[in-house]
A and B are shown apart, each in its own frame.
Chain A
Amino acid sequence: MTPVLATALAILIGAAIAYILGFDPFVAYGALLTGAFGNTMAISSTLAGAVPLALAGLGVSVAFRAGLFNIGAEGQYWIGVIAAVWFGYHLTGWPGWLHTLVCVVAAAVAGGLWGGLIPGLAKAYRGAHEVITTMMMSYIAIYFGQYLIAAGGPMHAPGYNAQSYPIRQDAWLTVLVPPQLTTAVFFALGTAVAVWWVMFHTTVGFRLRTVGANARAARYAGILVPAYTVLALGLSGLLAGLAGGVQVLALDHRLMWGFNTGYGYTAIVVALLARNHPFGVLLAAVFFSALSTGGQNMQMVSQLPSSLTDVLTGLIVFFVAAERMVPLAIAWYRRRRGVRVQVAAAGEGGREA
């Protein structure tokens, strides 16, 4: 209930802001909606943009479920892209489907090692906080990627632009609905089902959730908490890396300067809004992708800057995080009113002491 309420509140406040700035909120939101879902092209773009958000969001949510805060999904995404691209143009003469598979697996494994092995081991055996380590690893990954494609870098393709060689076309994902929607969408759906199944129907998932819900009880239950910490961060990084691999195979087909879209950061918001439920992640990913694609149309039609969508995102985060504040505020209000009404009635009841 709360996620829906938080979103509704954010949209309402966004409308108020638009109105105060002198825009018609109905026109603006109408343009946002048509921009995101108005025609097949719009839907295609929105769903395509939702795929990396969903995959990386699933990754963040798995860590959350185990009580860990993976904020380095952005870097794991990059590492996934790098791995997929490397295998994408180095391998030749493989059947297309196998080549794709190799790239995807490479991306996932690379992301898993980056997010899981190093921060996970550091957390499990040295107590280094994962918020710090995943963030640091994230920056390393981003700058490493930029080094690779800079002039003179090992993956730099000859030419003026800072970009890598393209992935061989046989490994590209097939476009289903032009311009952007590819078979990548099946990766997102399949992974969501897989994550749901693992988390709620296997002993491994049960143990991960136990570690997240109560680490002391997990130890008492005989769960090797350090091992599951590594596993949780590993799975989390694996999914974020998969997001990068799938996205680059679907759309950009190469590592490019400035392709850094911030999917890994938005993924945190996606997981938050979805309350870490795999199917909720799918919905939240479509929602945030729609904000982004629709936002551009909104700016064109109503002149309202598309950065309003960033305001909406911020408000949603605020309201979801403030979930416990709402009942508190209501209780406080009731008490205040109670005091005012009843002070006169009962206050003097025992005052004569």
Chain B
Amino acid sequence: MSSFLEVVDVHKYFPGVKANDGVNLDVRAGEVHAVLGENGAGKSTLMKLISGLYQPDAGEIRLEGRPVRFGSPRNAIRAGIGMVHQHFMLIPALTVADNIVLGDEPGGIRYKRRTAAAQVRALSQKYRLEVDPLARVEQLSVGLQQRVEILKVLYRRARLLILDEPTAVLTPQEAEELFQVLRHLKAQGTPVLFISHKLDEVRAVADRITVMRAGRTVATVPAADASPQELANLMVGREVVLRVNKPPRTPGDVVLSVRNLSVTDAERRLRVRDVSFEVRAGEILGIAGVDGNGQTELADAIAGLLPASGGQVAFLSQDITRLPPGERTRRGIAYVPQDRQRDGLVLDFTLVENAMLRDVSHPPFSRRGILQHRPARAYTERLLEAFDVRPRDPDRHAGDLSGGNQQKMILAREVSRDPSLLIAVQPTRGLDVGAIEGIHRQLLRLREAGKAILLVSLELDEILSLSDRIAVMHHGQVVDIVPAETATREQIGLLMTGTRVGESEVAQPSNR
């Protein structure tokens, strides 16, 4: 097979950073080629070099054997490079067809809307990317919006499709549909370059996999031969523990007890309905469910960020239902919120300020209302060291950190205050293997130390491997709580749709 795109020994430097430091890649005609690497390994820089946003400092990019130098994304598009960004660039109020032809409309200034719709329909049939050309983008699901993005580049006659972390925003079903589309494109001869940090999906969809680490490409392997362990080791550069080792532990006293809790969100919609459960010391209770079934609101209500509209929350045998969030924090509830950038951190603040965010009125951060800069700094330095947050510079702003390091920072802050209960909502969302491993280890260490942990996650594997018991939420209710040892993916998956198995269907009408 001939190479469609070759990247030969490309280097790209930014002040103080070797973003790409010797990158080699060849994408053959008619293959799905994955670039696998941790966050910060240089994948995005490479993509920006290929799509013309950056120019390489050294090395060469060849298209069908001929060296090219794109001065701008426009030139790259003209050459047939189609980039689908992680963040969609669509206009919600316009139709699918309008969005697709935008900037290259049939008829030019006298825009022929009907021709556009017909062209888009033909295109979507050709590539089996079914979507209604006349639907407005704002009415589409995220998965369909992504299709529109793909159609947009195909409309511009892309001969190579580049997808940057395309599954980050998709449900598992939508991801599977995307893989079908990619296989079909491949069958039609369009090579696909697929950027990801997720081992499983790369193995599922790619023909060959190129692994990047610290700005370099370290290996290119056929997907059929690569084991997850091998890939993970290549990515991280050391032996990675993929399977969690969870020693058995007998749970202690009840730490958190939730009784008939109901919660309405800011728009006054009922999101949590009559939920009851307990979490004991030394136990991880996993909350599984499809996104948007009330898990986040449940966590927010326990942390005090949303008021309970009914029911009771008891912590260490005391009713905390009406306490403000600050008081709950003081009593020993730690919370890793879902949105680390909007809730968990102040991005414009330094790491020292972020470390003191939740405990500013206590030593070592302050005495009698006066900030203690030096002890706070020393404390933060120890925190960064202990939790391996990089860069290890307490004066850096939180916004400068990568997603994984931001999450480590939040976890470091929450865990080091020695809480009795940790609520963690999607603590590994968007993180790479190395970072996920670290966070899982921390959660298990807390369990080992006899803390109660409430883990909300959309990743079924994460729930299954970490939890002692699993509560499955559907439509604001806890459908069932099952022990993790005997739980299967199929069983949890079924519960996630709201269906209970066997005789438990009729039991406990109060939960329905």
Tell me if B71 is interfacial: C-beta within 8 Å of chain A: yes
Contact between A339 and B74, CB atoms less than 8 A apart? yes
Q: What is the bound-complex CA distance between A223 and B359, given in angstroms?
A: 10
Say whether A261 faces chain B, with CB atoms less than 8 Å apart.
Answer: no
Interface residues on B, range: 35 or more
Partner of B342 from A202, A210, A217 at Cβ < 8 Å: A217
A223 to B, closest residue via Cβ: B326
Q: Quick check: B159 and A219 within 8 Å, CB to CB?
A: no
A contacts with B, residue count (CB < 8 A): 32
The answer to whether B71 and A342 have CB atoms under 8 Å apart is yes
Q: Given the known A-B contacts A210-B346, A342-B69, are A203 and B63 also in contact in the complex, defined by CB atoms under 8 Å? A: no
Task: With both chains docked as a complex, state the minimum distance between the C-beta of B59 and any C-beta of chain A, in angstroms.
Answer: 16
Contact B157 A353 (CB under 8 A): yes
A220 touches B343 (CB 8 A): yes
**Chain B 355-377 interface 0/1 with A at a Cβ cutoff of 8 Å (1 = within):** 01110110001100111010000
Residues of B contacting A351 with CB < 8 Å? 78-79
Q: Are A220 and B325 in contact (CB under 8 A)?
A: yes
Main secondary structure of the interface of A (DSSP, over half): helix
**A341 — which chain B residues lie within 8 A by C-beta?**
71
Q: Knowing A214-B342, A214-B347, A343-B71 touch, does A224 contact B326 (C-beta < 8 A)?
A: yes
B371 interface neighbour in A206, A213, A221, A223, Cβ under 8 Å: A206
- From A203, A213, A346, contact of B69 by CB (8 A): A346
Q: Chain B residues near A219 (CB, 8 Å)?
A: 305, 325
Contacts of A335 in B (CB 8 A): 72
- CB-CB under 8 A from A22, the residues of chain B are none
Q: Are A210 and B70 in contact, CB atoms less than 8 angstroms apart?
A: no
Interface residues of B in 284-327 (CB under 8 A from A): 303, 305, 324-327
The answer to whether B78 and A203 have CB atoms under 8 Å apart is no
User: Beta-carbon contacts of B61-87 to A below 8 Å, as 1s and 0s?
Assistant: 001101011111011001111000000
Q: Using Cβ atoms and an 8 Å threshold, which residues of chain B touch A129?
A: none
- Known interface pairs A203-B361, A222-B324; A338-B346 also in contact (CB < 8 Å): no
Contacting residues of chain A (315-353) with chain B, CB-CB under 8 angstroms: 335, 338-339, 341-343, 345-347, 349-351, 353
Contact A346 B371 (CB under 8 A): no
Contact yes or no, A350 B345, CB < 8 A: no
Question: B305 — which chain A residues lie within 8 A by C-beta?
Answer: 219-220
User: Does B353 reach chain A (CB closer than 8 Å)?
Assistant: yes
Given A222-B329, A223-B326, are A203 and B71 neighbors across the interface (CB < 8 Å)? no
* A201-B370, A206-B353, A216-B342 given; A224·B324 CB < 8 A: yes
A350 contacts B78, C-beta separation under 8 Å: yes
Q: How far is the CA of A316 from the CA of B257 in the complex (A)?
A: 59
A207 contacts which chain B residues (CB < 8 A)? 360
**B9-51 interface with A by 8 A CB criterion:** none
Q: Is B349 an interface residue (CB 8 A)?
A: yes
**Distance of A332 from chain B, by nearest CB (Å):** 12
Which residues does chain A contribute within 8 Å of B71, judged by CB atoms? 338-339, 341-343, 345-346
CA distance A286 to B87 in the complex (A): 46
Sample (7) of A-B pairs whose CB atoms are under 8 Å apart: A202-B369, A222-B330, A338-B71, A339-B74, A341-B71, A346-B68, A346-B69
Residues of A participating in the B interface, judged by any CB pair closer than 8 Å: 200-204, 206-207, 209-210, 213-214, 216-217, 219-224, 335, 338-339, 341-343, 345-347, 349-351, 353
By a beta-carbon cutoff of 8 Å, the part of chain B in contact with chain A is: 63-64, 66, 68-72, 74-75, 78-81, 157, 159, 303, 305, 324-330, 335, 337, 342-349, 353, 356-358, 360-361, 365-366, 369-371, 373
